[in-house]
Chain A
């Protein structure tokens, strides 16, 4: 576990990608063989079953540290991470240990079925043998929530470099179905498991945002334009009689969308299609807020099926008759895709995402203005000669999004951030005017520079009116322009509506609190998106 603790510290102390990759390469070259698959699993979000509930862990930590519960809560607010808080408040350990990472993980899996008293004995004994950094890692192993700033791409690049293997293959291999206790690191690199596995998806091809004018892309005849649909990117895999639906978060979501299960009978074996999971009613794509009702649910009831029916808008074909065709040009893939889509019986549910016909960039710009009317976010531009790349590659695919909605608001609450931003007031709540009152419409914690955060932090410290635990009520003086992607009705929020992806667009130092938007302005906007 020491070597892994060291790796985490190295990953955390640098914000340079090259340093992180170097740390990972060094780790995979020197670490215990049996530990390595577990580390890959952890960094790619493969979570083992949680052996002990958070509530119990918390309770034992409080008991052992001898501090009152409220004080533990204050510590947690300041640290911003439960595993770390526990590691810090516990009394110092009485001994040390050399146990390996995989041994700890194995033990944790073992105690899952034990009684709470047995679990407690194990955990307390473990805490007593680990130093602060190791305890933090151990606590993270229990929670399974390892967010350490290592993206899949970075991990893949490091393993690829360490093993001198093509990164595409590594990406395939680690995205497939495997269990860290049942595979060696070597087998993982070799992709020994993926050939026999029907479900493996391809890495999604992603687009960069188009910042320049589209005319800079050259002639229009080299490009295919489609709507940029606002749903969940998905990949449907049909092999050997089995159907799998993957979301972009590399999650298998097959069970969540029964509407698409007919594809199991209709798609030929050896077919993989890329597209967007959307809510589609009477042939019309619905706003994201409608689709939201269907996401992350373990069970789906009849009214949800009726209120938010699912459709799949197909973008691309990655595998055809069992062969990987990602290196065929888009124009050819599209031809084959037309063939596949033409064979589907229910073309209202699995729809070929239409290509937008246009003759010049000005015309397309005009068309793009109407994006919101069909609940899309703008236009996708794909080079007709492009491959289906793994991940993001500049130049071939562009997303040409319409500008976000914006609203001028005033900051009324501030709270200390978590993670990197603990101890600074970085999480703000914003309000608009509703008659004489201010009413909360959004909470945001991104979009300011570190310098601006310090400035706002100083303002909050000077202008705090009241405190509720970690939250400060501040004088409504600072005006911020909030950008957001959509708006939905919400019974949970006092304003009766909720903004999607709110973030700070600009700090409007030029505006006074009297000049902000009103709740009526937002209500009108909401009405216009639903009609």
Chain B
């Protein structure tokens, strides 16, 4: 049966909201397929505003993978801003997709990508506006299946009651496996109803309602057990092993509205084994799998031609670590010289080679700023987090950068790391001054600027710091204030130093949502009912609202916000995500945690790409292996890369 567009009802509301273009779709490379000839229909949701969601690589990839399949249809939906939400409620306009303005409730699946926990309340807005019951248990056969993925989904327990299923890890193959299961189930006449489908899905995804959580009287979890036959005790992540076989996005949607990343992005490898102990992404995306230089070259050529973007981002968790990054940088710079295409490498690794790469990529362009992330202010702190950057490394890097024309150095740090003292944070001020001095000396100029950017550390599941006590927001804020004072103290450097910080309060709520269990769902629901929306946006976030919601929602429980955040866990405690398997050996994580806080100083873990395997557990558990080059191939600009506007 055809599904009618809600656009006629939406259109009269659009002149009354801010930036209406974000709600109309119709972008170049967006796809509208025939409803009735599709057997399986996905609504893909990034639960944030269009300007953030449209730039998300994960949703873009799945949109293409699904729409390329005959009989499968995928459309996009985002969280609407509160101005439109109010009008939609008043005029009974349901949550819609952008592509054909179909009601989300008509789809088979609502796939939700969680890059951050701070989007959980936005999920509830989407479900509610769609007319889908908030709780999985209350949904009927006609409602879409609500499936989540993304990094935050590695601990989905705080939103488990709102989700029907959760996919861990890479989505490309998983969404097709799920599509096949749904198609078979529909063709067979939907045997077993909604539960019958979830039963099948439990082989490829985590179905929270098939697991019961039991608690000790003190509030800790005693166990998490499947409550039906045939459901695995532990659910494993998905890993795509050949990135060259999945060269997406090929033709990214070209937003009309401004978005946070205005460029064509290519993931040059997935995974990271540098072993930074705070980094959830680096832990849950192992092993390292490189995309080959030739695939990268053809993706860049095809993506630019299809989109008309004038900037290319070479993405990964540490892009300079690609085994052929030198060749990639030189060859792409050659291919696109004179075309006004900008190439960028999110530079976070602190070494002089990274500067050489940045020089190459900006060969004919502007050299404004370089970003490095030492993360910890003192050398001791950097050892604790296993980010082995010496001050000498940093100053040598800055010297190289300043000598090659870079004027602004941005440094990223975290505050509230395990074992951190006031002195560790104050060390950042001295470091920033030395950076400026080194830059001035190397360039012979006075206009060197250093911006210190710092935020509160939030311990994340599946990392060595998953057991750590999160630093109290008062402590974080006091250290941030002290650092601000220290940065301004020396007049010789005062104006050359910029300071940006995020205070500690949002970090506590992020911590609650990151390491929470199923009881936290009540807090999310209470906060959302009280009006919490867009919690990742400082102008919308209300700490007081969250604390009030937590106090009322957890009143009958022996736990509270502090229990979830600033409390250190011990080895024996069952963590809410212990039954979700990212491949990491729990004992290895524990040992790494103990190594980081050893009284005699933290032990270093080296990168397994260049040193022997230290058995984090991923490859053996998941049947995967590191895939790195070199391939020895080169890009021949004129032959391999049809250049876009060099006529």
Q: Do A and B come from one complex?
A: no
